[in-house]
């Protein structure tokens, strides 16, 4: 039996993944009400396919708020999501609490694994508490991606495992579990594994930042990034899965948190992390790209502009609005008296007290009488929208579509002026 502690996004997906591989799983959470809701099929997160998978594996996965039952698990994962503060620092308190709980109830010779992301040095500090009576403590890097979490959980590229002694064999229960996924297994020191997670995200940010910088240059010199990116993907040193799609800075909280962690660790250890500062500044710059386009083409020209906004979540297939470009835009425009009518299929409630902000339940209703449409989140449903219907609903012709969600030819045919990242802006764009 494998126990997963903490039934938020990471814990749910990981527990479902283990059950899908044929293991018996105890999905534990301290919150009995949450457990009741999960038993009733109510999920606290949006993740494509998760509800269906949980239904499929219900015979092998048991939700429980009874900590004593964890004593029957030979492998225990601490898998609670780590909350991040507005200043991008993470709060490890939930991980610590569950780790202490596990240390108190785990059976002798059980293996306790920290799956939640923690900073270098965290796991080793708990070794003495956990490693008694033949028990072992490991850290395993999670690579959950909101919206693609199931695929990542079921088909991982590799497992990175931090150990007290990387030369020693992995504990048998952990080896048996990870072996079921058929991918490389990389044991290393705790600190190396903890930093590996941060290193992965730093390399992603590096690619994102380079993409965004060059895409911005495209907008000024007549080049198109969507013509360049395929050439880069065919370069083996860059790769087909590289993050080469331009975006509005760095969304969400995980990448920003890891940059903040690198910055803090570097300052404390005298390492030059100026590069990280550059990444963070550039991300802050790009998040306002829609505002810049709107200002140049609408806000500085029309006395009482109205803006339709599609997308409030920070990216598609998630409810989270943390670091969301759409929310940021609304919170700039509405307090200035500029009417913003927003639509998002899933996003959590958005704090925007300005009277000029309104959220509606239909995408075309948001467009009614608006001078421009901003598509701030590339939800799959938005790709199905008919540009002609959008044009009919809008009062103006401007569509600020950073990700190119709407069909470009359809926009042209409908007389819409589509501004997208990495391409010349509409005034000089020949469609």
Q: What is the dihedral of CA 193, 199, 200, 203, to 10 degrees?
A: -170
Applying CB under 8 A, does 332 fall inside the site for another protein? Answer: yes
Q: Rounded to the nearest whole angstrom, what is the least distance from the CB of residue 306 to another protein in the complex?
A: 12
Q: Rounded to the nearest whole angstrom, what is the least distance from the CB of residue 352 to another protein in the complex?
A: 14
Give the side-chain half-sphere CA count within 13 A for 280.
Answer: 18
Q: Rounded to the nearest whole angstrom, what is the least distance from the CB of residue 291 to another protein in the complex?
A: 5
Applying CB under 8 A, does 292 fall inside the site for another protein? Answer: yes
Applying CB under 8 A, does 429 fall inside the site for another protein? Answer: no
45 burial type by CB count under 10 A (0-12 exposed, 13-18 middle, 19+ buried): middle
Q: Which stretch binds another protein (CB under 8 A): 111-119, 147-155, 168-176, 288-296?
A: 288-296
Q: Which is nearer to another protein, 20 or 218 (CB)?
A: 218
Q: Rounded to the nearest whole angstrom, what is the least distance from the CB of residue 402 to another protein in the complex?
A: 15
- Among positions 58, 125, 281, 389, the unique one binding another protein when judged by CB under 8 A: 281
Q: Which is nearer to another protein, 39 or 301 (CB)?
A: 301
Interface size with another protein, residues (CB under 8 A): 16
- Among positions 233, 285, 359, 429, the unique one binding another protein when judged by CB under 8 A: 285
Q: Which is nearer to another protein, 333 or 375 (CB)?
A: 333
Applying CB under 8 A, does 299 fall inside the site for another protein? Answer: yes
What span, in angstroms and rounded, lies between the C-alpha atoms of 351 and 323? Answer: 13
Q: Rounded to the nearest whole angstrom, what is the least distance from the CB of residue 299 to another protein in the complex?
A: 5
Q: Report which of 332, 248, 330, 263 is spatially closest to residue 87, judged by C-alpha positions.
A: 263
Applying CB under 8 A, does 288 fall inside the site for another protein? Answer: yes
What span, in angstroms and rounded, lies between the C-alpha atoms of 107 and 269? Answer: 39
What span, in angstroms and rounded, lies between the C-alpha atoms of 417 and 431? Answer: 9
In the region spanning residues 336 to 365, those forming contacts with another protein, defined by CB under 8 A, are 336, 338
Q: Which is nearer to another protein, 110 or 376 (CB)?
A: 376
Q: In this structure, are residues 259 and 279 in contact, taking their beta carbons and an 8 Å threshold?
A: yes
Q: Which stretch binds another protein (CB under 8 A): 151-159, 184-192, 311-319, 334-342?
A: 334-342
- Among positions 92, 246, 305, 404, the unique one binding another protein when judged by CB under 8 A: 305
Q: Strands (DSSP E) along 277-338, which ranges? A: 306-310
Q: Report which of 370, 323, 317 is spatially closest to residue 342, judged by C-alpha positions.
A: 370
Q: Rounded to the nearest whole angstrom, what is the least distance from the CB of residue 307 to another protein in the complex?
A: 10
Q: In this structure, are residues 267 and 273 in contact, taking their beta carbons and an 8 Å threshold?
A: yes
Chain mean position to CA 378: 14
Q: Which is nearer to another protein, 233 or 285 (CB)?
A: 285
Applying CB under 8 A, does 276 fall inside the site for another protein? Answer: no
Q: In this structure, are residues 139 and 194 in contact, taking their beta carbons and an 8 Å threshold?
A: yes
Q: Which is nearer to another protein, 305 or 387 (CB)?
A: 305
List, in order, residues 6 or more apart from 63 with CB less than 8 Å away.
7, 27, 28, 29, 35, 38, 39
Applying CB under 8 A, does 267 fall inside the site for another protein? Answer: no
Q: Report which of 426, 396, 431, 429 is spatially closest to residue 293, judged by C-alpha positions.
A: 426
Applying CB under 8 A, does 168 fall inside the site for another protein? Answer: no
In the region spanning residues 217 to 236, those forming contacts with another protein, defined by CB under 8 A, are none
**Residue 30 Cα distances to 12, 67, 380, angstroms:** 14, 8, 35
Q: Which stretch binds another protein (CB under 8 A): 65-73, 124-132, 182-190, 297-305?
A: 297-305
Q: Report which of 175, 132, 172, 180 is spatially closest to residue 156, judged by C-alpha positions.
A: 180
- Among positions 283, 294, 374, 411, the unique one binding another protein when judged by CB under 8 A: 294
Q: Rounded to the nearest whole angstrom, what is the least distance from the CB of residue 412 to another protein in the complex?
A: 27
- H helices of 21-133, in order, are 32-39, 50-56, 93-105, 122-125, 127-130
Q: What is the DSSP code (8-state) at residue 148?
A: S
Cα Rg of the chain (Å, integer): 24
What span, in angstroms and rounded, lies between the C-alpha atoms of 102 and 113? Answer: 10
Q: What are phi and psi of 425, to 5 degrees?
A: -70, 160
Q: Rounded to the nearest whole angstrom, what is the least distance from the CB of residue 332 to another protein in the complex?
A: 5
Q: Which is nearer to another protein, 118 or 338 (CB)?
A: 338
What span, in angstroms and rounded, lies between the C-alpha atoms of 216 and 224? Answer: 10
CB atoms within 10 A of CB 246: 26
Q: Which is nearer to another protein, 199 or 332 (CB)?
A: 332
Q: Which is nearer to another protein, 145 or 332 (CB)?
A: 332
Applying CB under 8 A, does 295 fall inside the site for another protein? Answer: yes
- Give the interface with another protein as residue ranges (CB under 8 A): 281, 285, 288, 291-292, 294-295, 299-301, 305, 332-333, 335-336, 338
């Amino acid at each position: 039996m494998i126990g997963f502690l903490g039934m938020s996004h990471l814990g749910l997906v990981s527990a479902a993944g283990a059950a899908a591989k044929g293991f018996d799983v105890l999905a534990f959470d301290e919150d009995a009400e949450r457990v009741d809701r999960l038993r009733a099929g109510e999920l606290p997160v949006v993740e494509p396919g998760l509800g269906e998978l949980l239904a499929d594996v219900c015979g092998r996965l048991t939700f429980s708020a009874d900590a004593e039952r964890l004593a029957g698990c030979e492998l225990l994962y601490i898998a609670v999501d780590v909350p991040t503060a507005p200043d991008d620092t993470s709060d490890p308190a939930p991980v610590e609490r569950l780790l202490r709980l596990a240390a108190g109830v785990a059976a002798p010779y059980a293996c306790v694994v920290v799956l939640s992301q923690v900073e270098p040095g965290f796991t080793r500090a708990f070794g003495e508490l956990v490693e008694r009576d033949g028990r072992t403590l490991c850290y395993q890097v999670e690579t959950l991606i909101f919206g693609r979490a199931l695929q990542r959980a079921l088909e991982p590229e590799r497992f990175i495992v931090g150990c007290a002694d990387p030369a020693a064999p992995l504990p048998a229960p952990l080896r048996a579990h990870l072996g079921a996924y058929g991918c490389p297994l990389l044991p290393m020191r705790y600190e190396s594994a903890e930093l590996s997670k941060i290193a992965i995200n730093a390399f992603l940010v590096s690619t994102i930042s380079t993409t965004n910088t060059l895409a911005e240059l495209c907008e000024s010199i007549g080049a198109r990034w969507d013509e360049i990116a395929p050439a880069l993907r065919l370069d083996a040193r860059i790769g087909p899965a590289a993050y080469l799609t331009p975006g509005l800075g760095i969304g969400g909280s995980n990448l920003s948190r890891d940059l903040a962690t690198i910055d803090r660790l570097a300052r404390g250890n005298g390492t030059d992390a100026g590069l990280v500062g550059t990444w963070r500044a550039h991300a802050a710059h790009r998040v306002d790209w829609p505002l810049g386009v709107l200002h140049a083409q609408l806000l500085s020209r029309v006395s009482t502009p109205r803006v339709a906004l599609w997308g409030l979540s920070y990216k598609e297939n998630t409810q989270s609005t943390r670091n969301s470009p759409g929310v940021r835009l609304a919170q700039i425009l509405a307090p200035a008296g500029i009417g913003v009518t927003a639509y998002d299929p899933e996003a959590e409630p958005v704090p925007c007290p300005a009277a000029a902000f309104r959220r509606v339940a239909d995408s075309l209703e948001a467009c009614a009488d608006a001078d421009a449409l901003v598509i701030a989140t590339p939800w799959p449903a938005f790709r199905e929208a008919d540009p002609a219907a959008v044009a009919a609903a809008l009062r103006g012709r401007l569509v600020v579509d950073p990700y190119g969600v709407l069909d470009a030819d359809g926009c042209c045919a409908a007389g819409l002026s589509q501004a997208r990242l990495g391409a010349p802006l509409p005034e000089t764009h020949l469609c």
